[in-house]
């Protein structure tokens, strides 16, 4: 006999599909004591919402997000909306006693993120943030290796998230509008690499020593009807008129870690030739690690403790459940590979494990955790605009 948890999803675009797939598949691969029921789905357009609900198996479609967030029958509210909506929706759900899973970044502004974390502290509900790259088996294994001391003291961290879809042909979708998104590549992509570095190293970023933010494409075509396709607005009609892009296209910053390491971060939507190169390198006194999501089933490892004649980078095929590669045991035979969608299913499994009274396979970020990442993002922007170092001990706010 399984206990059921009723899930309400707010949002039906790119992330809405990723989350819907996760909730519909999770117990097929990660059976447990808690069964998610796809109870309610929310979006603004009733016609397209009805089709979405039928496709993904949501029982009740509605255009009223407050109904979903406060419905006594709903246990978990899953927020997959644009960033400026996160705070209002999450706080309403938390005040109604719901568990809340929210897309990243936690919010569009630091003030909203702080309000969300404060609401979470007051609430009986548990909170989760969809930093799903923690659930890539290679990234989870990197976290375990560092925690076990395989690298020793960490000296250097390099992290970059490189995409190329944000050229002049991309129209003015919400991701290019500062009042909705909060920031551009920095909040969208930089949030992931900041969280990943914190997660893998187990250290916090204590200062931003310098930063640059830049907008290359200052005007973009207006989207007809205010809608748009997926991330880049593919298939969206345009009016022929132009509007101002009010977010960054690229941000770079330097930072210090709590253990003394130096770190660099780069986020851009204009890295021609790269589609989704989410990557990091970590160098320590005893070894090093490197990862690139475009080769997501591989982790690079260098050990100085190996015999000197054979020291060199080893490429680990992180698909072997029998060798304790995280999450791999639930999926396919060795070397059959995982994809992007599996990261969300893996996270859904860990959310259900926690709500069922168990432990996640690797740590899950809650609102308090995600607020730390938001503070780093904010500090980088402050550093770029004021051309000065920013200490994270200062508790900067927007």
CATH number of 134-366+373-381: 3.30.360.10
Q: What is the pLDDT of residue 237?
A: 73
Using pLDDT thresholds of 50, 70 and 90, give the confidence band for residue 235: low
* 337, pLDDT greater than 80: yes
Task: Give the mean model confidence (pLDDT) for residues 186-197.
Answer: 97
* Length of the chain measured in residues: 398
Using pLDDT thresholds of 50, 70 and 90, give the confidence band for residue 1: very low
Percent of the chain with pLDDT over 70: 95
For tokens 């060795």, the residue is 334
Q: What is the pLDDT of residue 224?
A: 80
Give the other-Cβ count within 10 Å of 303's Cβ: 17
Cis-peptide into 105, omega within 30 deg: yes
Q: Does domain 3-132 have CATH number 1.10.150.20?
A: no
Using pLDDT thresholds of 50, 70 and 90, give the confidence band for residue 110: very high
Alpha carbons 219 and 262: distance in angstroms, whole number: 36
- Where exactly are the structural domains of the chain? 3-132, 134-366+373-381
Least confident of 142-151, 198-207, 234-243, 265-274: 234-243
CA distances from 344 to 4, 15, 189 (A): 19, 10, 17
Q: What is the pLDDT of residue 233?
A: 65
Residues 377/191, Cβ–Cβ less than 8 Å: yes
Q: Which two tokens stand for residue 158?
A: 């390099």
Q: What is the pLDDT of residue 348?
A: 98
* 102, pLDDT greater than 50: yes
* 226, pLDDT greater than 60: no
Using pLDDT thresholds of 50, 70 and 90, give the confidence band for residue 396: very low
Q: What is the pLDDT of residue 192?
A: 98
Which tens digit of pLDDT belongs to each residue from 34-52? 999 999 999 999 999 999 9
Alpha carbons 325 and 364: distance in angstroms, whole number: 17
Average pLDDT value over all residues in the chain: 94
Q: What is the pLDDT of residue 234?
A: 62
Which tens digit of pLDDT belongs to each residue from 147-178? 999 999 999 999 999 999 999 999 999 899 98
Which tens digit of pLDDT belongs to each residue from 66-97? 999 999 999 999 999 999 999 999 999 999 99
* 2, pLDDT greater than 90: no
Q: What is the pLDDT of residue 181?
A: 87
Residues 200/259, Cβ–Cβ less than 8 Å: no
Task: Give the mean model confidence (pLDDT) for residues 333-337.
Answer: 96
Task: Give the mean model confidence (pLDDT) for residues 185-214.
Answer: 98
Which tens digit of pLDDT belongs to each residue from 58-68? 999 999 999 99
Task: Give the mean model confidence (pLDDT) for residues 303-321.
Answer: 95
Task: Give the mean model confidence (pLDDT) for residues 306-311.
Answer: 93
pTM of the model: 0.94
């Amino acid at each position: 006999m399984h206990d059921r948890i009723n899930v309400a999803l707010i949002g039906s675009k790119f992330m809405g599909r990723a989350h819907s797939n996760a909730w519909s598949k999770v117990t097929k691969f990660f059976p447990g004591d808690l069964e998610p029921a796809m109870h309610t789905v929310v979006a603004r357009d009733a016609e397209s919402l009805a089709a979405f609900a039928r496709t993904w198996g949501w029982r009740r479609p509605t255009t009223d997000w407050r109904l979903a967030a406060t419905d006594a029958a709903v246990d978990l509210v899953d927020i997959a909306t644009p960033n400026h909506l996160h705070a209002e929706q999450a706080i309403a759900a938390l005040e109604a006693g719901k568990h809340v899973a929210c897309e990243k970044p936690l919010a569009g502004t630091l003030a909203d993120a702080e309000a969300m974390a404060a609401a979470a502290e007051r609430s009986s509900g548990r909170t989760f943030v969809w930093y799903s790259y923690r659930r890539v088996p290679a990234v989870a294994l990197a976290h375990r290796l560092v925690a076990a001391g395989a690298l020793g003291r960490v000296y250097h961290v390099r992290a970059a998230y490189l995409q190329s879809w944000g050229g002049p042909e991309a129209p003015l979708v919400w991701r290019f509008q500062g009042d909705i998104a909060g920031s551009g590549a920095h909040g969208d992509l930089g949030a992931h690499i900041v969280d990943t570095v914190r997660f893998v190293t187990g250290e916090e970023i204590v200062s931003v020593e310098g930063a640059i933010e830049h907008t290359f494409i200052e005007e973009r075509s207006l989207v007809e009807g205010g809608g748009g396709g997926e991330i880049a607005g593919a298939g969206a009609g345009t009016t022929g008129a132009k509007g101002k892009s009010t977010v960054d296209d690229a941000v770079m910053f330097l930072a210090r870690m709590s253990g003394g390491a130096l770190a660099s971060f780069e986020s851009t939507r204009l890295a021609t030739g790269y589609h989704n190169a989410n990557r990091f390198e970590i160098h320590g006194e005893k070894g090093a690690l490197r990862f690139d999501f475009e080769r997501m089933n591989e982790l690079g490892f260098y050990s100085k403790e190996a015999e000197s004649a054979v020291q060199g980078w080893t490429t680990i095929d992180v698909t072997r459940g029998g060798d304790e590669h995280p999450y791999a045991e639930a999926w396919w035979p060795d070397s059959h590979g995982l994809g992007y969608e599996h990261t969300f299913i893996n996270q859904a499994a860990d959310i259900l494990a926690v709500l069922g009274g168990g432990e996640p396979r690797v740590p899950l970020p809650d609102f308090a955790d995600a607020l730390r990442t938001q503070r780093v993002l904010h500090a980088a922007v402050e550093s770029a605009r004021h051309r000065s170092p920013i200490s994270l001990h200062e508790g900067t706010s927007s």
